[in-house]
Structure 1
Amino acid sequence: MNKNILYIALAIIIGLGAGWLIFGNGSSDTMANKDISDMSDQHDHSGESADQMWTCSMHPQIMQPEAGDCPICGMDLIPVESSADGLAMDEIKMTENAMALANIQTTIVGNAEKSDDDGMISLSGKIAANEENKTVQASYFKGRIERLNVNYEGQQVNRGQLLATIYAPDLVAAQQELITAVSLKESQPALYQAVRNKLKNWKLSDVQINAIEESGKVRENFPIYATVSGTVSEVMAAQGDYVNQGQPIVKLSNLNSVWAEFDAYENQIAQFSVGQKINITTNAYPNKKFEGTISFIDPVLNNATRTVTVRATLQNRDDLFKPGMFVTGKVKGVTQTMESSLAVPASAVLWTGERSLVYVKTNPNEPVFEMREVTLGNRSGETYQVSSGLNNGDEIVTNGTFTVDAAAQLQGKKSMMNQQIMPDESAMMRDMEMSFSNAFSSAFKEVLPSYLKMKDALVASNAVKVSAFAKATSKKLKEISTSDLGKMEKQHLTKGIEMLDAIANNDMLENQRSHFVILNENIVPIAMSVQNLNNYFIQKCPMANNNKGAVWLSTEEEIKNPYYGDAMLTCGSVIESL
């Protein structure tokens, strides 16, 4: 009996314990889930979605608050890193780990301090042959080169040295005349002297002429001697060649003096003048310094490099300087040192061709950077003088600048490759200020349907139809009267017809599209200026024309790219509506 009661009690205890474990934990789990649910409900995700921006990997200037397609090229947008809370629009933030891996270093800039090289401008250049000392050794008579004694560039030639031996039929006849004229020397001295002068004009010396007279024999081969000393810079004939009178045989350069030609930047031009002394060093003789004098400053600026040539003449009697050798020059310039001038390391500066850029650390306690455009002065060694763009005490990136710029580009911020300056091309076209009569405007509008068919054929990548519609468009444009057009209007129309003819006569789609770029540069401004042209759109693909961009006309707002067709059909945007 007692045992039964004990068994029942144990069963009740075990049942209660199991129930508590099952239902108690479930209740706890339920409560926990409820708490999590409540916390999730109370947590506001709108901030995350609102802060998340989307950009295009090929067009980082595109920034949108939601996913989608790039409005320029149609590619899928990618999310922008959203860890940079509280940053200005052009600021970027890097992690400490990224800073360490890229070895990014910064320096606080201050007023430029005077040094031993203060005011010295460093220039890089090359040694070049002195053009004033170049000569050409030519043949003085017609004939065949029987023997050529100068065979390679760099060969040293001394004055009076035999250069070549030439068989000259004209000289054979002139010698025979001389031998005949010797017998008439007393009776006809004028004739005799004329024959001698004829041979002298062919650069025969009196000794050679007297030898012909005394021997009474005709000489078939005649020598040509060097009239100056120098180094052969070019052999212009070969043994066995037939040369005319005055034809060059060799070019000689006298390297006793050479030119040291340096490239000076546009903002340094005012620092130089003819007659200035320049100290020159070269890698070949690092322990030697040579002194020269600036003898020439090129009056024409090189548009490609934005530099001018500064030239110094150097004596080279010891043959130390070789044309093509790299040299460095230092000139004491009229440096405009000011209290506010700053010096920055050359490694801090990025070049874009037209702009000089640095990255400034805007937050002293965090790795936050911002790109800034600066104006540079003279370069002295490995530092640049900054005339504007920086303030005393600014902290700039001096090592790893390209890494910071790459991070800015990936985050869709202002960078060296993305200046975020979108030129208003339609505004530039409107600045052309062309005017057309009602008659021309009406006739031009009749041409546009053919143009649109050609554009559609380019979209479809059908080269045959493109040629046919281009021919039809050209024919209609040629029928329009141009008697009342101004000079600029005629130029645009003429160039447009020229491009249409080029498209019509070409069966390669790539070439047709290249001509279509230039065609639109002339046709679109006309369309913008004619009267009462409605319901047309000017559209632009920024990637066409080698990423310079190209426009076209369309009657549909939807983008259908004629420069790429199906390969990038929706790449482009409407820049103006007519």
Structure 2
Amino acid sequence: MNKNILYIAIAVTVGLAAGWLIFGSSGNDANTNKDGANTTNSHNHSDKSENQMWTCSMHPQIMQSEAGDCPICGMDLIPAESSADGLAMNEIKMTENAMALANIQTTIVGNGTMLEDDGQISLSGKIATNEENNAVQASYFDGRIERLHVNYEGQKVNRGQSLATIYAPNLVAAQQELLTTASLKESQPALYKAVRNKLKNWKLSDSQIDAIESSGNVRDNFPVYATVSGTVSEVMAHEGDYVKQGQPILKVSNLNSVWAEFDAYENQISNLNVGQKIKVVTNAYANKEFNAMVSFIDPILNNATRTVTVRATLKNTDDLFKPGMFITGKIDGELKKDIEIISVPATAVMWTGERSLVYIKTRPTEPIFEMREVTIGNRNGEIYTITDGLKNGDEIVTNGTFTVDAAAQLQGKKSMMNQGDSGDSMKPISKMELPASEREMKFSENFQNQFKMALKPYLQMKDALVMSDAKQVSTFARTTSKSLKSIEIDSLEPMVRSLIKKSIESLDIMMENGDLEKQREQFVTVNKNLIPIATKMKSMQPVLYVQKCPMANNNNGALWLSIEKEIRNPYFGDDMLTCGSVIEEVK
């Protein structure tokens, strides 16, 4: 028993000694530096908390040292990334985790990784019906459709085929006249001939007229026959409908020839000409090329897509092409195969309608990117030729481009939606909006008085937008428009006349449109045209404040005028009442 107690005592003693050697000595080492001075090894977070900055996810220009609300929109501030130190103005840095989740991939262009280009312009398009071969089958007389023999799209019809049977009261009366004059054709041949001609004008044949005359019976229903052969592309009437003379019943398309319609971008137009040979390929016959010739190039550019329509006519006697079928056209371009060019996948390029953008990786070993504007040459399938903006060795994002762009937008950097202000955002509106020739112009006292009178209903209209009262907005828009129309503008500079006229056009739309969102869209244009003039006014009483909401107008920002310094947002009303800031005062 005594031996057991002794062994336990020895074990405890040894354990305490070992614990002191392990923990005690390490603690002393941690608290003593090489000079013997006593220090502490406790982890201090004070430096991190002191350096932590807070920003707004919607307004990244806001930077505060403490958490709180955004002074612009009132949203909760979030911690700003401290890892962005050392980045250029428009560079963004993404985490490795975000890169992996978004499957962001990059490719080095040029230097052997360059994709081959065969010098051809590639156009995408669809098969469409040949409008020159379309025909409308109409009713030749008033009546009710008793039977529609051709009643669905895609149905084949042949010339002379009965399309419909119509009850025609006018024809019943005309037949009675025919039977009456038939007995007088010897004594009054002119009258008899006139009645027959009337029936012929209603597309009755001589045989039909003779059958009525010989039988002596009046028919109630008459057939309408097809005048062309083709395929029904639209049914425009139904059984039981009352139709007028000349009213369409069917639309028939002759598909023996069809149109191949392609969309060509602005930078491709110079390489296209009427009469040019084009090779057409479709997924339905992937291994077969069809030769055609460009027959039409639309002289008007589509503002929405920034493209023009290029058309070629294809023979379709074998019924290979179906309207709506996707096709690709290839035209020989001006590029030569032996010229070194840079080609990139279509997934790398973002196209806004006016700009073509890519994201370039600025540091080889870090996930840091910056947007760059490029010029696109020809397109060959899913490959773009870049004629300007990239050089051999540049590393660009080829997959996940829109994810990188979204990150740039959230960080307030130059992006697809934000072109950057180039310093203009710091300039007064009076120096920004007008061209150099108009910036120093002066207005007559009479004009200034008239313009200031127009600002009174404008300010009431602005308050109505704040209150989201569409009816009041229409009322004050009418008054503002009337005030501007009363101003004598003939003696003003052309630019000023144009600004006032454009304002009136938008005000008239606001006046007629009761949709609040549509009114706010037009209010953007009103301010864009009125504010440059307002900033040139002298002796403004009371002071006018030019205010701006960066989130209005699809995050492009929008201005308005107010006599109150406090922000009351007319573009969002109660939803974001205090979102905005004063950018200029007109005293």
Give the TM-score category using the shorter length.
Answer: 0.7 to 0.9
Q: Distance in 1 between matches of 2:116 and 2:164?
A: 57
Say if 1:283 and 1:467 are closer, same or farther in 2 by CA, change over 3 A: closer
Stretch deviating more after TM superposition (186-195 or 286-295): 186-195
**Aligned residue runs from structure 1 range 249-328, under 5 A:** 249-328=249-328
Cα gap change, 1:299 to 1:338, in 2 (>3 Å): farther
Amino acid at match of 2:213: E
> SS at 2:208's partner residue?
helix
Per the alignment, residue 569 of structure 1 pairs with 577
**Equivalent position SS for 1:57:** coil
User: Residues 454 and 465 of structure 1 are in contact (CA less than 8 Å); yes or no, is this contact kept in structure 2?
Assistant: no
| Aligned residues of 1:466 and 1:503 also touching (Cα < 8 A) | no
Q: Which amino acid aligns with 1:550?
A: A
Partner of 2:145: 145
The answer for the alignment partner of 2:10 in structure 1 is: none
Name the SS for the 1:529 alignment partner.
coil
Cα distance between partner residues in 2 of 1:302 and 1:472: 33
Distance 1:222 1:414, change over 3 A: closer
Displacement of 1:373: 1.5
| Contact residue 463 and residue 507 of structure 1 kept, 8 A | no
Deviation, structure 1 residue 115: 8.8
- Letter of the aligned partner of 1:270 in structure 2? S
Q: Does the residue aligned with 2:224 lie in a helix, a strand or coil? A: strand
What one-letter code is carried by the residue in structure 2 that aligns with 1:331? I
CA–CA distance in structure 1, aligned partners of residues 354 and 118 of structure 2: 27
Give unmatched runs, 5+ long, in structure 2. 1-16
Letter of the 1:537 partner, please give it: Y
Matches for 1:82-97 after TM superposition, within 5 Å: 82-96=82-96
Matches of 2:339 and 2:380 in 1, distance apart?
17
Q: Does 1:64 align with 2:72?
A: no
Q: TM-score, normalised by structure 2?
A: 0.79
For the pair shown, the structure with the greater C-alpha radius of gyration is: 1
SS at match of 1:390: coil
Q: Which range is displaced more, 466-475 or 374-383? A: 466-475
Counterpart residue number, 2:4:
none
The offset of 1:30, in angstroms, is 6.8
CA distance in 2, matches of 1:236, 1:476: 45
CA distance in 2, matches of 1:191, 1:201: 16
How far is 1:197 from its partner? 2.4
Q: 1: distance between equivalents of 2:347 and 2:512?
A: 52
Distance in 2 between the 1:329 and 1:361 partners? 34
Correspondence for 1:398: 398
Q: CA deviation at 1:537?
A: 1.9
Contact 2:489 2:497 in 1 (8 A): no
Task: Select between 345-354 and 121-130 the one with higher mean Cα deviation.
Answer: 345-354
Asked whether the 8 Å contact 2:299–2:308 carries over to 1, the reply is yes
- Displacement, 1:37? 5.9
Equivalent position of 1:553 in the other structure:
561
Cα deviations by residue, 1:32-70 (Å, 9 ceiling, x for unpaired): 7974469999x9959x967x654321133x163744654
How much does 1:158 deviate?
A: 0.7
**Higher mean displacement: 128-137 or 465-474:** 465-474
- In 2, the alpha carbon distance for the partners of 1:507 and 1:131 equals 39
| Cα distance, 1:81 vs structure 2 | 2.0
Query: How far does the alpha carbon of each residue in 1:145-186 deviate from its partner, in whole angstroms, 9 at most, with x for none?
Result: 332212222211111111122233333333333334344444
363-372 or 416-425: bigger deviation: 416-425
Which structure 2 residues correspond to residues 366-515 of structure 1 after superposition, within 5 A?
366-421=366-421, 426-431=430-435, 436-442=443-449, 444-445=451-452, 455=462, 461=467, 463=469, 470=476, 477=483, 482=488, 486=492
CA distance in 2 between counterparts of 1:501 and 1:509 reads: 14
Deviation at 1:388, TM superposition (A): 0.8
Within 1, Cα distance between the matches of 2:410 and 2:199?
80
Asked if structure 2 preserves the Cα contact closer than 8 Å seen for 1:440 and 1:480, the reply is no
Structure 2 Cα separation of the partners of residues 221 and 40 of structure 1:
101
1:9 match = none
Aligned residues of 1:127 and 1:321 also touching (Cα < 8 A): yes
1:528 pairs, out of 535, 548, 552, with 535
Structure 1 residue 141, shift from structure 2 partner: 2.1
- Cα distance 1:187–1:294, how it changes in 2: closer, same or farther (>3 A)? same
Q: Which amino acid aligns with 1:532?
A: S
Aligned partners of 2:290, 2:301: CA distance in 1, in Å?
Answer: 27
Q: CA deviation at 1:348?
A: 2.0
2:569 is paired with a residue whose SS is coil
Query: CA-to-partner distance for each residue in 1:116-153, whole Å, 9 max, x for gaps?
Result: 86122222211111111111112222233332212222
Q: How does 1:25-44 map to 2 (within 5 A)?
A: 35-36=38-39
Q: Deviations over 1:218-268 (max 9, x none)?
A: 333322211111111222222233322222221111111111111111111
- C-alpha change, 1:536 and 1:154, in structure 2 (3 Å) is same
Q: Which whole-Å CA distance do the structure 1 matches of 2:415 and 2:477 have between them?
A: 45
Q: Does 1:538 align with 2:546?
A: yes
1:298 deviates by 1.2
Correspondence list, 1:227-246, <5 A: 227-246=227-246
Give the whole-Å Cα distance in 1 for the aligned partners of 2:77 and 2:352: 27
Report if aligned partners of 2:116, 2:343 keep a CA contact under 8 Å in 1: no
C-alpha contact (below 8 Å) 1:256/1:319 kept by paired residues: yes
Q: Which residue in 2 is equivalent to 1:55?
A: 55
Matched, 1:128 2:135: no
Q: Aligned in 2, Cα 1:379/1:185: closer, same or farther, shift over 3 Å?
A: same
SS of the equivalent of 2:360 reads: strand
Partners of 2:481 and 2:249 in 1: how far apart? 55
SS of aligned partner of 2:535: helix
Range that drifts further, 24-33 or 82-91: 24-33
Question: In 1, Cα distance between the equivalents of 2:481 and 2:371?
Answer: 53
**Which shows bigger deviation, 226-235 or 525-534?**
525-534
Classify the secondary structure of the residue corresponding to 1:165: strand
Letter in 2 for 1:533: M
Go from structure 1 to structure 2 and tell me whether the alpha carbon gap of 1:112 and 1:164 turns closer, same or farther (over 3 Å shift).
farther
2:215 alignment partner in structure 1: 215
Alpha-carbon separation, structure 1, partners of 2:485 and 2:128:
58
User: 79-88 vs 427-436, which deviates more?
Assistant: 427-436
Task: Provide the aligned length of Structure 1 versus Structure 2.
Answer: 554
Partner of 2:286: helix, strand, or coil?
Answer: strand
How does the TM-score come out when normalised to structure 1? Answer: 0.80
The structural deviation recorded for 1:190 is 3.4
Give distance in 2, aligned partners of 1:210 and 1:24: 129
Residue 378 of structure 1 and its aligned partner are, at CA, apart by 0.7
- Give the structure 2 partner of residue 109 of structure 1: 109
Tell me what 1:330 maps to.
Answer: 330
Name the CA shift for 1:192/1:439 in 2 (closer, same or farther; >3 Å). Answer: closer
> Do the aligned partners of 1:125 and 1:326 also contact (CA within 8 Å) in 2?
yes
Secondary structure of the equivalent of 2:82? coil
Q: Which residue identity is paired with 1:371?
A: M
Asked if the contact 2:503/2:526 (under 8 Å) is kept, the reply is: yes
Which amino acid in 1 is paired with 2:349?
A: V
State the superposition RMSD in angstroms. 4.4
Is this contact kept in 2: 1:80–1:411, CA < 8 A? no
Greater shift, 332-341 or 546-555, is seen at 332-341
SS in 1 for 2:166: strand
Question: For residues 442 and 514 of structure 2, what CA distance do their matches in structure 1 show?
Answer: 35
Determine the structure 1 residue equivalent to 2:14.
none
Structure 1 counterpart SS, 2:261: strand
Provide the rounded CA distance (Å) in 1 between the counterparts of 2:443 and 2:530. 13
Say if 1:359 and 1:396, in contact at 8 Å, map to a contact too: yes
Q: SS of 1:288's equivalent?
A: coil
Deviates more, 1:492-501 or 1:145-154: 492-501
Provide the C-alpha distance between the structure 2 equivalents of 1:468 and 1:98, rounded to a whole number of angstroms.
48
Secondary structure of the corresponding residue to residue 372 of structure 2: strand
- 8 A contact 2:454–2:484 mirrored in 1: no
Q: Report matched runs for 1:165-184 at 5 Å.
A: 165-184=165-184
For structure 1, list consecutive stretches of 5 or more residues without a partner in the other structure: 1-16
Q: d(CA) in 2 for partners of 1:362 and 1:339?
A: 27
Contact 2:114 2:343 in 1 (8 A): no
Structure 1 residues 261 and 135, CA gap change in structure 2 (3 angstroms): same
